[in-house]
Structure 1
Amino acid sequence: MSEIIRVSKEVKEKLVKISAELQLNKGKRVSLNDTVEYLISFYEENKNLKKDPQLLFSLLGSAKGIREEFERSRREDESSC
């Protein structure tokens, strides 16, 4: 069952960047839902570690140029259907 959540444009852009990086790593299409699930799992696995709490946020800005590649790939996928 699907639910609607609202996020700011800034957060959506960051989710798209992470999705693109996951897509490149997995070699298959990754939805925003998959990305949110990944981030939740990452958080749950690492919440008890005594590491820098900014780690997750640093990941959000680490993929320069990935968004454009992700969007291009999505357009190609959509046009081939």
Structure 2
Amino acid sequence: MTDATNELAALSFEDALKQLETIVRELEQGNVPLERSIEMYERGDALRKHCDTLLKSAEAKVEKIQLGQSGEAKGTGPLDPQ
């Protein structure tokens, strides 16, 4: 993995989302040179994919929670590493 990939993988959902929001805000202002805009767009796309992966993982965990008769969570089943 590259350093950028490792750095991205280490980001929490919240941190990645904050970075993505900053990129969107800066690009929407239109004050960024073209080359920098392209770099920012590529970073934003990578952040979006990272956030999507983290969300899908969280959704899978929630779906695995089994409720007991009393309505309390009994635990989670094993997750498929996809």
TM-score (norm 2): 0.32
Query: Which structure is higher in strand share?
Result: 2
Which of these two proteins has the greater Rg computed from alpha carbons? 2
- Structure number with greater CO (CA < 8 Å, separation at least 6) is 1
TM-score (norm 1): 0.32
